[in-house]
Amino acid sequence: MIISIDIGNGYVKAVNERSKMLHFPTALKEKNDDDIVFNKNANYIIKIDDSDFFVGDIAIVKGADRSWKAGREFNKNTYYYIALCSHILSGDSEDITICLGLPFSYFIGLNKGKALVEELENKEMRTEYGGKRKSLKIKKVSVYCQGIGAYMCNLFDNKGKLLPNAPNLIKSLVIDIGFRTVDVVGFEKINGQFELKTGFSLEHMGITNSLSQIVKNISKFTDFNINEIEYAIKDNDSKLSYTFGEIDLKAYEEKAYSQLAEMIMSEVARRLAGDLNKYNNIFITGGGAAKIEKYIKNSFDQIKLQDDPIFANAKGYIVLEQMS
């Protein structure tokens, strides 16, 4: 079974070759014996090897930290996210192939994930979740580049078959707006085939930039963190309750998303040195794309929101694996 896992700074997105998907916050906390849990079926409480973990939303409630380690290092909890996704998405398979993604700059700087491949290949995992125990073996690990996965998702279906409109989309620019980084890849058409022309990362320009700005702008009311702001936007119609009433975050979002869109596109235009206008196909994708689409379109109306932007990279890694 091929399982593609896009472990972002904000969310984990996973899909298997049969198109079954998972999506949860990138948060993990080890479960202690004295932890009280009322919802025994909460997503996700899982045993991995000999330890119990809270993963996702329940991990945040229990005090997990969502931040990554400083520097260009893999998320220290990568193995545990892989174990959870593999348990749920492996079906009846015991041997699995794992596809992972890295920001463009990390992919180049970390030798295409060589260390992660060496660490994880042939690793055996013992998991227990939802009343079912599994013993799984990672037979193969492939590491791909964020943005390129999304590009491939525009050209091929999940079986690797060329999509009808693919020839018209070969020359494309993809702007992948994640939680912390933005990855940009541009492909050129050569003799009817695709070839990577440019690629770079804009670090600290992801959607967390906007959330941090909102936190700063409402600090006069009381101290909130990014998780609290995000949950209010996502689950409570952008309404944030506190001791003295309720804060409507919509105006703060409008300002923060507009500023981020301008910052991203200004930097993309600067990096491409005039080549931006040479692309008829410009796609924005990733978990932050839908939030700032309308603000980017104010200046670049030819930009399109990619279909299924949250899972586009993960789906594309499966295409790349089938082509390898």
> CB atoms < 10 A from the CB of 274, how many?
8
pTM: 0.91
pLDDT at 70: 44
If DSSP codes are grouped into helix, strand and coil, which group holds residue 215? Answer: helix
Which residue, 322, 305, 324, 236, is CA-closest to 17? 322
Q: Which residue has the higher pLDDT, 73 or 41?
A: 41
Q: What are the pLDDT digits (tens) for 281-309?
A: 999 999 999 999 999 987 777 899 999 99
pLDDT at 154: 94
Q: Which domains does the chain have, with CATH numbers?
A: 2-145 (3.30.420.40), 165-307 (3.30.420.40)
- Burial class from Cβ neighbours inside 10 Å (0-12, 13-18, 19+) for residue 216 reads exposed
Contact 217, 252 (CB under 8 A): yes
**What are φ and ψ of residue 222, in 5° steps?**
-175, 175
Contact 48, 80 (CB under 8 A): yes
- The 8-class DSSP code of residue 63 comes to T
When the pLDDT of each residue in the chain is averaged and rounded to a whole number, the result is: 89
Contacts of 320 (CB under 8 A, 6+ apart): 99, 142, 144, 148, 149, 152
Contact 80, 45 (CB under 8 A): no
What is the Cα–Cα distance from 50 to 63, expressed in whole angstroms? 21
pLDDT at 324: 79
Q: What are the pLDDT digits (tens) for 161-171?
A: 899 999 999 99
Q: What are the pLDDT digits (tens) for 173-221?
A: 999 999 989 999 999 988 878 999 999 999 889 999 999 999 999 988 8
pLDDT at 169: 93
